[in-house]
Amino acid sequence: MIIAIDLRALASGRGGIHEYILRLVPELVRLDRSIKFKLFFNSYSQKLRWLEDEPNGEWHQFAYPNRWPMFSSRIFFGPKLDQLVGGADVWFTPHLFVTALSPRCKQVITFHDLAWLRYPEFFTRRQNWWHRWQAPGLQAKRAGKLIAVSQSTADDLREFYNLPAEKISVIHSGIGSEFFEVRPQLIEDGPQRNLPEKYFLSLGTIEPRKNIAGVVRAFDTLKTSGQVGADAHLVIAGNLGWDYAEVKNLITKSSWQKQIKLLGAIKPENLPELYQRAKVFVYPSFFEGFGFPPLEAMASGVPVIAGNNSSFPETLGQAALLVDSYSQTELATAMAAAWNDQSLRSKLIANGQKQSKNFSWQKAAEETLSVLIRSAQ
| pLDDT of 50 | 82
Dihedral angle sign, alpha carbons of residues 44, 67, 136, 118: positive
Question: Phi and psi of 267, rounded to 5°?
Answer: -65, 140
Residue 75's CB is within 10 A of a number of other CB atoms, namely: 10
Q: Are 89 and 1 in contact (CB under 8 A)?
A: yes
Length of the chain: 377
Ramachandran sector of residue 190 (left: φ over 0; alpha: ψ -120 to 50; beta: rest): left
Tell me how far apart the alpha carbons of residues 228 and 313 are, in angstroms, rounded to a whole number. Answer: 27
pLDDT of residue 42: 85
User: Homologous superfamily of 2-174+360-376 in CATH?
Assistant: Glycogen Phosphorylase B; (3.40.50.2000)
What is the pLDDT tens value at each position of the chain, 377 positions in all? 999 999 999 987 678 899 999 999 999 999 999 999 999 998 877 778 788 789 999 999 988 776 777 777 777 677 899 999 999 999 999 998 889 999 999 999 999 999 999 999 999 999 999 888 888 999 999 999 999 999 999 999 999 999 999 999 999 999 999 999 876 665 555 555 678 999 999 999 999 999 999 999 999 999 999 999 999 999 999 999 989 999 999 999 999 999 999 999 898 888 999 999 999 999 999 999 999 999 999 999 999 999 999 999 999 999 999 999 999 999 999 999 999 999 999 999 999 999 999 999 999 999 999 999 999 88
What are the structural domain ranges in the chain?
A: 2-174+360-376, 178-356
Per-position b or e across 118-143, b if 16+ CB within 10 A of its CB? beeebbeeeeeeebeebebbebbeeb
H/E stretch holding 282:
strand 280-283
Tell me, what amino acid is at 123? F
Domain 178-356 has CATH 3.40.50.2000: yes
Residue 223's nearest CA partner among 177, 248, 190, 258 is: 258
CA dist 280 and 234 (Å) reads 10
In the beta sheet, which residues pair with residue 107?
91
Do 2-174+360-376 and 178-356 show the same overall fold?
yes
Give the pLDDT confidence score for residue 41 in this predicted structure: 92
In sequence order, what are the beta bridge partners of 58?
A: 38
- HEC profile for 63-112? CCCCHHHHHHHHHHCCCCHHHHCCCCCEEEECCCCCCCCCCCCEEEEEEC
Per-residue pLDDT at 188: 58
Strands 280-283 and 145-148: unpaired
The secondary structure of 108-121, three-state, reads EEEECCCHHHHCHH
Q: What is the dihedral of CA 66, 68, 69, 73, to 10 degrees?
A: 140
C-alpha span between 278 and 234 (Å, rounded): 9
User: Do residues 164 and 141 make contact, with C-beta atoms less than 8 angstroms apart?
Assistant: no
Give the CA angle between residues 169, 170, 173 to the nearest 5°. Answer: 130
How open is the CA angle 17-22-27, to the nearest 5 degrees? 125
Euclidean distance between CA atoms 45 and 43, whole angstroms: 6
Rounded-to-integer distance, Cα 37 and Cα 94, Å:
14
